[in-house]
Amino acid sequence: MVRFLLLLAGAALCAAPPVIRVDKPMPPPDWALAERALLKAYAEAAGEFAAKYVDDRGYFRALERWGGNDGPDDVMETFNSWTLLHSLGASDTVLELYRRIWEGHIRQFTAAKAPSARAAKDGMFYKEFVTSFDWEHTGEGLAAFHFYAMSAPRDPEYVQRVKRFAGFYMGMPNYDPKHKIVRSILHGSRGPILDEATVNDWGGEPIPGEPERLERYRAAGNVRGDHPLNLGTCTLGFNAFALTGEKQYRDWVLEYAGAWRDRIMANGGNIPTNIGLDGKTGGEWGGKWWGGTFGWNFDPAVTGRNYYMRGARTGLGEAFLLTGDASYVEPLRRQLANLYAAKKEEGGRVLLPQKYGEKGWYGYTANQYLDVQRDLYLWSMNPADLAHLGGDGWIQFLQGKDAGYPAKALAGEFEKLRKRVAGFRADGSTPDTRRSDGAQPFSPVSTGTLVNLMLGGNDPGSSGNVLHARLRYFDPRLRRAGLPEDVAALVTSVGASEVKVTLVNTSPVYEREVVVQLGAFAEHAGVAVSSAAGRVALDGSHFTVRLAPGAGESLTVAMKRYANAPTAAFPWDR
C-alpha cells in the first residue's frame, strides 16, 4: 500500500513537497541487494587502495613529474569517480579520503618543480591550480573536484576555489572576450603559452633511456589559438553558477559555448580544431579548420592524440543543461551525422573516420562515440537519436527489452572490482619507480553502471564533465547526498515527460526515508507522482518517500524537463 501525505507548512498553508508512505512488502530483488553490496564493497576497497598508494600527508606515492606522459593530473585521475560514488550513497569515509588526497596533491605539486618546463620551473601548481597545460590532462585531473559539488555544496573553501578557478577563464590573459576564445592549448593559473611550445613544456624533464618522452611532442609546438578541448573549462563556470547562483558564471558559459556552437554550425557541422587569435577558424593553421596541435590531422605517429569531441560534449552539454536550448547540442548531432555519412563497413562492423586532411576523411576506427549518442537521446528523447544504439544493453533495458540487464550489469561490476583489488594487492611497484598514473589500472571505484541504474543518467566519464541524470537522492536524516542506508533504486524507463523508478528498503527491521530530486541539479520541475495506489500533484523539484521495513514500490514521476535553473544546493537548503 502507498499513502500520500501532503504536509502543510507556514502560516499561509503553502503546500510542502509531498511525503509518500510506502508500506507494501517487497522482498529485496537481486539487483537491490547487489546495488547495496557494491556501494559497500567500493568503499572498503577504496580504503585499502588509498592506504597503499597515499601517505599520511595525502601525497601520492610516486615520482613527481610534469607533462602529458606522466604528470600531476594523473594522481587525481586515479580517484576521478570517488566523489561521484559518495553522492550516490557510499560511506562518508570515501569523501574523507578524497579530501585528504586532494589537499595533499595540491601541496605535493605546488612544491614539485620541473626546471626545463617554463610553466613548472617554479612549481607545477600555482594558486592551487595547474600553471599552464592542455585540457585533456587538466580536465581529467579535475573530474573528482567537479563531482565534489554534489556532496559538499556548502563547503566554503570549495566554493572559494571553484570561483577562483572559474575566474581564470572569464577574461584575460587566458580568455579573450572580444573573440570569445581561450587563447592557447596550454593555459592555467599562470596564463597561456602563446609562443612556440618546446618539447620540455610538454614533457618536462628528460629521462635517461626514454627519448620518446620528449620527441613525441616535436610536432606540437604551435599551441596558439583555441581548441575544442578548451570547452572543458565550462565545467568551472557551470559549477560556480550551480553553487552560488551568480549570473556572471552562467553568462560566461553560454557566451563561450555559444561561440563554439556557432562556429561548428558555420563549418557545416564539423568541429574546428583551431580558432586563431583573430577569432577566425583555422587562423593559426593557414585557414585549415582541421589543422592544429591535437587537431583532426595531427600525426598519430607523434602522440596519437586527436581531440575534437571530448570538450564539445562537456561544454555544449552544460550550456544545454543551463538553458534547455537544444541548439547548443545540435552541433554534436551534426558532427556525428557527418561521420556516419563517411562510414565504412568491414566484417560486419561500422567504422567511422577519426581524421580529416587535405584529401578528406581518413583514419577509420570502430569508435562511434556511443557515449555522446546516449547523451543526445537522453537529452532530446527523440527516437531518431536511437538509430545507432540498438546494441546498447542499458538503453534496451529502458525500453523494456531485457529485464535481466540490471543484475547482469551489476555482476559485471563485481567481477571488475575483484580483478582490480587483486591487481593492486599484487602490484610490486615502489614509490621511487612508480609513475603518477601507475595505479590507475587498479583504481577500484567505477560508477558508470550505478549512474545508469540508480539515476537514469549516462556515465559522465572521467574527462571533467558534470552529471546529467533524471533523478538524484538524498538522506534527510544524515543531511547528506546519496541513497540512505539499506535503500536501493532502479530507474526502469525514461520518457520525454516522465521517469519510472522502483525504490526498495532492503532492511526488514528499520524504516528508511529518502528524498528524491528531479535532475542531477534540480533542473526538472515535478508535475505528479503516481503508483498503483493513486496520484499526487508535485509543485517543486523533489519529494520524500518513507519506506516501511522491507517495503518497496514502483513510482512514475511526471515532470517538465529543464524547467529550472540548475543548483547544487541540497533540497532542504532551497
Would residue 191 be called left, alpha or beta, if left means φ above 0 and alpha means ψ between -120 and 50 degrees? left
Give the span between the Cα atoms of 82 and 557, in whole angstroms.
29
Would you place residue 10 in the very low, low, confident or very high pLDDT band (cuts 50, 70, 90)? very low
Catalogue the E-assigned strands of 347-497: 349-357, 360-365, 471-475, 480-481, 487-494
Query: Which pLDDT tens digit goes with each residue over 75-131?
Result: 999 999 999 999 999 999 999 999 999 999 999 999 999 999 999 999 999 999 999
Neighbour-count burial for 148-163, b at 16+ CB within 10 Å, e otherwise: bbbbbbeeeebbebbb
Query: Which pLDDT tens digit goes with each residue over 389-434?
Result: 999 999 999 999 999 999 999 999 999 999 999 999 999 999 999 9
Q: What is the pLDDT of residue 305?
A: 77
More confident site: 301 or 411: 411
Q: What is the pLDDT of residue 2?
A: 55
Comparing CA positions, the residue from 372, 408, 410, 373 lying closest to residue 388 is 373
Q: What is the pLDDT of residue 532?
A: 85
Give the H/E segment covering residue 215. Answer: helix 212-215
Mean predicted lDDT score pLDDT of the chain: 95
Q: What is the pLDDT of residue 6?
A: 40
Which residues, 6 or more positions from 422, have their beta carbon under 8 angstroms from its beta carbon? none
11 pLDDT higher than 60: no
Q: What is the pLDDT of residue 213?
A: 85
Q: What is the pLDDT of residue 306?
A: 83
Lowest-confidence region among 31-40, 185-194, 213-222:
213-222
Which residues, 6 or more positions from 359, have their beta carbon under 8 angstroms from its beta carbon? none
Domains of the chain: 2-27+471-573 (2.60.40.1180), 38-452 (1.50.10)
* 8 Å CB contact between 536 and 473: no
Query: Which pLDDT tens digit goes with each residue over 129-158?
Result: 999 999 999 999 999 999 999 999 999 999
Query: Which pLDDT tens digit goes with each residue over 76-87?
Result: 999 999 999 999
Q: What is the pLDDT of residue 9?
A: 34
Once rounded to an integer, what is the mean pLDDT over residues 355-378?
A: 96
